[in-house]
Amino acid sequence: MRRIFFNILKTLDPEVAHNLTINVLKLPNPFIESNNDFPILSNDINGLSFKNPIGMAAGFDKNAEVINSLFNLGFGFTECGTVTPRPQFGNVKPRVFRLASDKAIINRLGFNNNGIEKFLTNMSKSNKNGVLGANIGPNKDTENFVDDYINLYTKVVDYSDYVTVNVSSPNTKNLREIQEHDTLNTLLSELSQLRENMKTQKKIILKIDPDSTKQHYSMILNLVQKYKIDGIIATNTTISRPQDLMDEYKDEEGGISGQPLKELSNKVLSFLSKETNGELLLIGVGGISNAKDVYTKIKLGASLVQLYTALTFNGPQMINKIKKELSLLLQSDGYKSISDAVGIIHS
Ligand SMILES: Cc1cc2nc3c(=O)[nH]c(=O)nc-3n(C[C@H](O)[C@H](O)[C@H](O)COP(=O)(O)O)c2cc1C
């Protein structure tokens, strides 16, 4: 039954398939998996308990509608959003393209979502069966990007375990410019001040792009350390177009995710880990489709990982398969806990 449903999805327009999937996941107990967790995969990070390191990446559950179903499918954590202050339609359709022959997606959705108020109502229904993140971003017609992040942080902080500040989506005009020194300095300084004023320890994570230079990443790291930001997600989608793309949709505008992003995001992850001597929490995302891909990111310095695109090609059973195979890979290398393997390539 599940296989039939999944094969039908792959024949539909990607955005229609996505909306249908969300609706199915809203049903009571859809496609419950035998959700085994393996003690070797559990990890306590910055005061949060992760049953396993596999997270649902932002963009899948933009409106926080299917949190509990994602926990049921075996994810150790899920990141809802990107949510903006006001509801937003996003760019004109079609705006998501499946590059089947490249195992990739190009999207230029542009933060389509129902706005923060509905998001909070949905978040409050979490059964807390995993760690919950909220990914925030500005409305495209906002007067002031920084104010939007501040407002959103103030609102989501009581509902989520961590808050991701998304400054790296390529589909909102000028958003990536927030990663420039002066604007990022203002944003992170205001956020850390706000957190202090609110007397909350709630984690702030910065999500960055894969298309910058090493100098740029070093500058970002300096600011992250200066303002005690808790971690970095590496990375969002790429606006570059790897030479070997084959699919007819390869020249569509937008960000590429999936297989062609893997090497690029791994390079960024590795650089960040080396520069910080493994002392900053890093979440690796980009091109994960199996346990080996996860293990590579862990060894490069990620304590946690996220995925999205491969799920649309392989189906939700891949989550439990990855967990099982990852625990075997760790055991066969003699590790007692996943935390011992983090960043091992650099030691
Ligand atoms: C259709 C789609 C929508 C996305 N929307 C968001 C988003 O709203 N916010 C965000 O931070 N990342 C978004 N992403 C990026 C993913 O979170 C992730 O960083 C990227 O897809 C790389 O992971 P993957 O190769 O496993 O897909 C989106 C990705 C896809 C494919």
Query: Which residues have CB under 8 Å from 208's CB, separation 6+?
Result: 167, 168, 179, 217, 220, 232, 233, 234, 235, 236, 268
DSSP single-letter state for residue 40: G
Whether the model clears a pTM of 0.75, i.e. scores above it, the answer is yes
Residue 63 CA, ligand 1 centroid: distance in Å: 14
User: In the chain, what are the domain boundaries?
Assistant: 2-346
From CA 191, how far away is CA 188, in angstroms rounded? 5
Q: What percent of the chain has pLDDT over 90?
A: 90
Q: In what order do the strands lie in the sheet with 96-99?
A: 96-99, 104-107, 255-258
Give the model confidence (pLDDT) of 86-104 as tens digits: 999 999 999 999 999 999 9
pLDDT score at 30: 59
Residue 197 CA, ligand 1 centroid: distance in Å: 32
Q: Residue 239's pLDDT band (boundaries 50, 70, 90)?
A: very high
Single-letter amino acid code for the residue at 29 = N
Residue 114 CA, ligand 1 centroid: distance in Å: 17
Q: Residues enclosing ligand 1, CB less than 6 A?
A: 57-59, 62, 82, 96, 105, 107, 109, 135, 166, 169, 207, 236-237, 257-258, 261, 285-288, 307-310
Known active-site residue 273:
no
For domain 2-346, the question of CATH label 3.20.20.70 is answered with yes
Q: 232 — phi, psi (to 5°)?
A: -130, 140
Give the model confidence (pLDDT) of 21-42 as tens digits: 999 999 986 566 556 789 999 9
pLDDT at 121 over 90: yes
